[in-house]
Structure 1
Amino acid sequence: MKYNEISHFSHPQHILKFEYLEVPFKCDGCKEVGIGSRYKCNLCDYDLHTHCALPSPSIVHPFYTKCSFQFLSRPPGDKPRFCNACEKDVAGFVYHCQSCGFDLHPCCAKLPMVLDDGEMKLYLYRKISASCDRCGRKGRSWSYRSACKKYNLHVACVKEMLVEGWHELCFGRGKYRKLENRIPSLKGTLQTHRHKSKGKMKKCCEVAGMALQFVVSAVLGDPTTIIAGVIGSMMSRA
């Protein structure tokens, strides 16, 4: 087997090959959206985030120092469960802590603690007291906050923005499956401070927009500047 190929318990009939495509997909493991790097079966149109294709049997997280999260192929129990990072439903692969009952999507569990493009740094927080630049509310889910503390984005809000602009990611399976080929427009989704001067407000929106690009790429499971650039170009064309 080649170094860029794997066999996976969730799709034992075929080999999955590593690919990098600037086309969004729905992960067949965790059921969440992804973009960029993936392991794919071209025969079945079966896709996995790299985090889902190559999971760690167990992990610890800086936000939950007393917890030990075990990788599970399906949510435990019969009751609906939600991710403690993004507050969205857990429908597939999950990291679960049996002692406390916490759950994390694989991509949420592997969210970088710092996003850094060389000019801007965004830090991941479990809770922040400042308002989110998307919803205007405090608290809620995990958030990314800029080093200057002026820009804040809930992980939950970023996911909602993707869903709002990209309903029905997949329709059916196999040859009937329809996959959109672009990230939804995110232009104009951030709140602006209208009391600022026109020049300062433009700069504020530009920086906040750049922050959004990096957070979106991280949430989709591939926090690279290449993906952020793709998203940015799509925003500019909207």
Structure 2
Amino acid sequence: MKYSLEFTSNFIHPQHKLKFEYTEFPFWCDGCKEIGIGSKYKCSTCNYHFHKHCALPCASFVHPFYTKCCFQFLERPPGLVERYCNACLKRVSGFMYHCSSCGFDVHPCCANLPMVLDDGELKLELRSKMSAVCYTCGKKGIGIGWSYRSTCKKYNLHVACVKGMLVEARHDLYNCEGGTVKISSDTGIDEFKKLDTGLPSLKAILHNFHKNSMRMHT
């Protein structure tokens, strides 16, 4: 995905320009209605915030898990019935990708989840089904929704748990480093990409979330 410091979207938000920002604080996306952190686009006039995937969506795409489906970008869920993301199983309330043939729905951020999360010590691979109890929340949900599974087969995680875990972990990481990334015309594109793809220790945050989850259930 290309980064642009400022642009006008004739489709998403034609009224004003959207400006690229990088934040270490979680934000609410006015597109998909989900939490985000890191790269975003903001309309200062309307105080709207968008994930980069929501500000720069694809009109359509085919996901490796659903090769017979063609997902179309929609600004709102079709019909009057509540719809849920087939990846994270969370409600779809705003921007989404929808396959009219099979009825599948996917959040933009879920559609762009990396197939592999690798911090150099632990590797998690994205899978189309949940094969065991989630290590972080302890809930079953076997066979339902997407998951991340470690190559060592010790960790099975709901996609929703991983998304929330990474937002919180990156927030803690940025606060520890104590700095806001200043964006200017001289800021390199590679720096943005490095910040977006950089991972804290996966094993450490998995154990922390597992402990917190166990405390909540005792």
Same fold (TM over 0.5): yes
Report whether the alignment pairs 1:224 with 2:197.
Answer: yes
1:12-161 alignment to 2 at 5 Å?
12-133=14-135, 134-137=137-140, 138-158=142-162
Give aligned-pair identity as a percent: 63
Which deviates more from structure 2 when the two are superposed, residues 5-14 or residues 142-151? Answer: 5-14
Higher strand share: 2
Q: List runs of 5+ in structure 2 lacking aligned partners.
A: 173-194, 213-218
C-alpha distance in structure 1 between counterparts of 2:81 and 2:46, whole Å: 30
3-state DSSP of counterpart to 1:15: strand
Deviation (angstroms), 1:117: 1.9
Q: Distance in 2 between matches of 1:55 and 1:37?
A: 14
Distance (whole Å) between structure 2 residues aligned to residue 11 and residue 148 of structure 1? 44
1:84 positional shift: 0.4
Question: What aligned pairs does 1:197-236 form with structure 2 within 5 A after superposition?
Answer: 224-225=197-198, 228=200
- Contact 1:141/1:156 (CA < 8 Å) preserved in 2? no
- Taking structure 2 as the reference length, the TM-score comes to 0.72
TM-score (norm 1): 0.66
Number of corresponding residues: 177
- After superposition, the Cα gap between the structure-2 partners of 1:161 and 1:23, relative to the gap in structure 1 and judged at 3 Å, is closer
| Aligned twin of 1:6 | 7
Alpha-carbon separation, structure 2, partners of 1:16 and 1:47: 9
- What amino acid is aligned across from residue 125 of structure 1 in structure 2? R
Aligned CA RMSD, in angstroms, stands at 2.8
Change (3 A) 1:89 1:132: same
**Aligned pair in 2 of structure 1 residues 145, 16: CA closer, same or farther (>3 Å)?**
same
